[in-house]
Structure 1
Amino acid sequence: MSENQSQLHDTPARYGTVSRFFHWTMAAILAWQFATALSHLLLEDTAIESFLWGTHKVVGLLLIVLVVLRGLWSLRNRGHRPPSLSPMANLGHLALYLLMIVVPLIGLLRQYGSGRAFEPFGIPLMPGFEGDRIEWMMAPGFLHSWLGWLLLAMVVGHIAMVFIHRRRPRDEDVLARMLGDRQSGPSRVS
């Protein structure tokens, strides 16, 4: 395998280019989604809310597509990735992945149940329908918000743990692994 090809894949010391692309792209998309939700909550009926909230569904769909692609890429790199620091870190990452799948799925379910068309990027994903809403699809809609805020709390915790691991003596600098630093290892900060 050439040097360029090996940089695409994960190694036990660091994440490869593709994994880093998924991670940082999804981080930016999640930041956007949380900004749209906060604007909807705090800036209702303003131009900012109108602009941001208008992108929420389309960007949510993009997020779920990236989660699936990232999951498939992770499976392909299984056994070659940097090791998890603990069982708790494994559970935390699993919870993040589950929420990144469940939250937009509930949104899509609610969208379909509403009977309104959904055509992200001009693609007729849900044509909409005449008549009453499908109530059982609308019912779990409140979970979309609550689980979304839980996801935000988990993301904040994820970021906090990165900095905790950077500061603890003898802990691995996990940020270096996701930045592609080939010298990652025990923390150089004490």
Structure 2
Amino acid sequence: MTPKPPAPQDRSPRRADTSYTSTAKVMHWLMAVLIPATMALGMYVEGLPFSPEKLKLIAWHKWAGVSLFLLVALRLTWRLFHPPPPLPASMAPALRMAAHAGHALLYVLMFAIPLTGWLMSSAKGVPTVWFGVVPIPDLLGKDEALGKLLQATHMYLNWLLAATLVGHIAAALKHHFLDRDDILTRMLPTINRKDRT
């Protein structure tokens, strides 16, 4: 009896996941709303005269900052266990390096800005109670001079983040409208492919 030949194997390469996970998308777009809103609130509060209303808005700004700090930590942890989809093979090596550097800078700033705000509040002796319920411990003793330095650092880092975000958005739009790849669509909430969880 002649043995049956082995079944032909599918040697076609498997397509790598080309979309971010649904969880990553939710965190990305939540932060895309919270970060500009928190920055705008901080700039608005800076120009207000001292009043109970200003203190209330400062508290809201700090609550948002703590929330963003935790959200960035959660997002980075998720990213470590769920790596993002690979960049298009058509991207030049220099552009790949620029993309990775830009993302790294965004994460550094998203950590550094809430941290400098926390340090500033500590140095100025202004307590932070997250949503009026959870007290946030001070990281420094009261030091007015250091508080002013940290305030300036906090402000300049915000401007750097704003510039980096503009570059991030511009790059995404370039990829979508000029390069016509899936860099932008793979992060959109609704796309014509099954999202990973």
Q: 1:69/1:136 Cα in 2 relative to 1: closer, same or farther (>3 Å)?
A: farther
The residue type equivalent to 1:82 in the other structure is P
Deviation per CA, 1:150-181: give whole Å up to 9, x if none: 10111111111111111224x42312100152
Q: Does 1:177 align with 2:186?
A: yes
Counterpart of 2:162? 152
Identity of aligned residues (%): 31
Q: CA deviation at 1:136?
A: 7.1
Q: TM-score scaled by structure 2?
A: 0.74
**Aligned-partner residue type, residue 183 of structure 2:** V
Query: Cα 1:153–1:127, aligned 2, differ >3 Å: closer, same or farther?
Result: closer
Show the counterpart of 2:77. Answer: 72
- How far, CA to CA, are the matches of 2:32 and 2:50 in structure 1? 26
Partner residue in 2 for 1:108: 118
Query: Corresponding residue for 1:33?
Result: 38
**What amino acid does structure 2 have at the position aligned with 1:113?**
A
Q: CA deviation at 1:16?
A: 1.1
Rounded Cα–Cα distance in structure 1 between residues aligned with 2:157 and 2:108: 10
TM-score (norm 1): 0.77
Residues 147, 128 of structure 1: alpha-carbon distance in 2 compared, 3 angstrom cutoff: closer
Distance 1:19 1:33 in 2: 20
Matches for 1:37-186 after TM superposition, within 5 Å: 37-41=42-46, 44-45=48-49, 50=54, 52-78=57-83, 81-84=84-87, 86-121=96-131, 122-126=133-137, 133-134=142-143, 137-138=146-147, 139-169=149-179, 171-179=180-188, 180-182=190-192
Amino acid in structure 2 at the alignment position of 1:92: G
Q: Structure 2 vs 1, CA of residues 22 and 126 (structure 1 numbering), >3 Å: closer, same or farther?
A: same
Count of residue correspondences? 167
Runs of 4 or more above 3 Å deviation: 49-54
Larger RCO of the pair (alpha carbons < 8 Å, separation 6+): 2
Higher Cα radius of gyration:
2
CA shift for structure 1 position 33: 1.1
Quote the RMSD (CA, aligned, Å).
Answer: 2.8
Instruction: Quote the offset at 1:46 in angstroms.
Output: 10
**Counterparts of 1:165 and 1:128, CA distance in 2:** 42
Contact in 2 for aligned 1:166/1:175 (Cα 8 Å) = yes
Match of 1:13 among 6, 10, 18: 18
Partner of 2:11: none
More displaced 10-residue stretch of structure 1: 15-24 or 174-183: 174-183
Gap regions ≥5 residues in structure 1:
1-10, 185-190
